[in-house]
Amino acid sequence: MKKCFISALFFLLMCFMLSSCTSKEAKEVINQIKALKTIEIDANSIKDLENISTSYDKLDEKEKKAIKNYEILENAYDSYYHAVAEDFDNKVVETSKDINSDSYDKLEALLSKYEEYNETIQNYITKKGVLINSLEKSKKIKVESVVETVLSYKNDETDSAMELIKQYGSIMNEEQKQKCLISFGQWESVNKAEEKIISRLKSPRSYYRYNCKVKEPMEKSDGTYHVYLMFEYGATNSFGGEVKETRLVVCIFRINTELLSVTFEDVAI
């Protein structure tokens, strides 16, 4: 009886010693990992997992050995990776259903997201092929839409036209780039010519354009483009009376499809 009592006492003492050897920080990590069994791991669980990993990484090697349930955390991460991959695949399928001009940016964003994922998530993703094929289809639709939009812009929308050229020039072919840049140059010529006319007036603020006829840009042998513009405008003279004038202006510009730029070389009045 005495032997049994001593054995039991020894057992309790060992348990106490083992328990006291586990630091407060290690116990907290153990409890955090235990709590993972009570929640559903999904594509939004990364913060919970990272918080536990951060706490675990702060432990020393002896404390880490006390974390006997670490495998639960590893399995939780794997479940998270699967959930992220499944969520990504669903988005690819949904975005690929009805491909239009708006699909390109969404699919491009998904591809960028894929490239940010770690190798494990990438391996779990099954719809990358669908993404690439859909992206190629949407690219053609998008670039045609962009070119059409740029060609429809006039002189009061040249800033918007250049923004589109810069944003989507990388997916345009050479002919499409040329069309867009020449169109931009044509309508930016109106702005450049008007600036020149106004700068020569005695009362610049009195300027008012009645009409402006813009010819199609003419390509010259030196690679420049010439645009002929006929302005009909009014302005106040030094005596305060309005004077109406008609003036021919020639704008000369050069395009660079590599830099996606238009450089004005002359504005002749």
**Dist CA 192 CA 261 (whole Å):** 15
Report the pLDDT averaged over residues 152-164: 98
Q: Identify each DSSP E strand in 111-241 by its residue range.
A: 208-214, 218-219, 225-236
**Dist CA 180 CA 165 (whole Å):** 7
**Dist CA 126 CA 177 (whole Å):** 35
Cβ pair 171, 101 in contact under 8 A = no
Residue, of 3 and 116, whose pLDDT is higher: 116
Per-residue pLDDT reduced to its tens digit, 27-77: 999 999 999 988 999 999 999 999 999 999 999 999 999 999 999 999 999
Provide the pLDDT for residue 204. Answer: 93
Name 108's bridge partners. Answer: none
Provide the pLDDT for residue 247. Answer: 96
Residue 179 has pLDDT above 90, yes or no: yes
Tokens read off for 138: 């949407």
Provide the pLDDT for residue 11. Answer: 47
Q: Which residue has the tokens 């610049």?
A: 204
Per-residue pLDDT reduced to its tens digit, 90-112: 999 999 999 999 999 999 999 99
Find all residues with CB under 8 Å of 21, minimum gap 6, and list them.
Answer: 66
Residue 155 has pLDDT above 90, yes or no: yes
- How would residue 10 be classed by pLDDT, with cut points 50, 70 and 90? very low
